[in-house]
Amino acid sequence: MVQYKSAHLDTAFAALSDATRRGVLEHLGRADASITELADKFHMTLTGMKKHVGVLEQAGLVATEKVGRVRTCKLALRALEEEAAWIARRRQLWAARFDELDKVVEELKRKEKVDGRKKR
């Protein structure tokens, strides 16, 4: 189970690591679009856009439907809840670490201030 979640997160973050794919997701958040429309918008070939959409589909972020010769893309129903939860856990971990570091720095400042008074 842990390996599945890790592989799932890896796939999603790999898909999100590319600026074009993030742009495609933003565009699809506003309206569905064909691969041709997306290719035109991002100034790329149909083959290049098909590859980007394929990566997003594998990650479960985009769904496509072919009607005739037109393949329409839309955001998949799966939300990024799992990825957001992973990020939130890392944020909590680092916030706790920085809080502890702040305490150490404040203690060192306090000791330095006290030691400075003793020397005079």
Domain that residue 85 falls in: 79-120
Do residue 70 and residue 100 come from a single domain?
Answer: no
Q: Which tokens sit at 73?
A: 């893309």
Contact 73, 35 (CB under 8 A): yes
Between CA 58 and CA 43 the distance in angstroms is 23
Q: What is the pLDDT of residue 118?
A: 65
Residue that wins the pLDDT comparison between 115 and 63 = 63
Do residue 22 and residue 63 come from a single domain?
Answer: yes
Instruction: Indicate the pLDDT class of residue 2, thresholds 50, 70 and 90.
Output: very low
Do residue 69 and residue 101 come from a single domain?
Answer: no
Do residue 8 and residue 28 come from a single domain?
Answer: yes
Do residue 8 and residue 66 come from a single domain?
Answer: yes
Task: Output the DSSP codes for 48-115.
Answer: HHHHHHHHHHHTTSEEEEEETTEEEEEE-S--SHHHHHHHHHHHHHHHHHHHHHHHHHHHHHHHHHHH
Do residue 9 and residue 67 come from a single domain?
Answer: yes
Do residue 87 and residue 54 come from a single domain?
Answer: no
Per-residue pLDDT of 71-120, as tens digits, reads 999 998 776 788 888 899 999 999 999 999 999 999 999 888 887 776 65
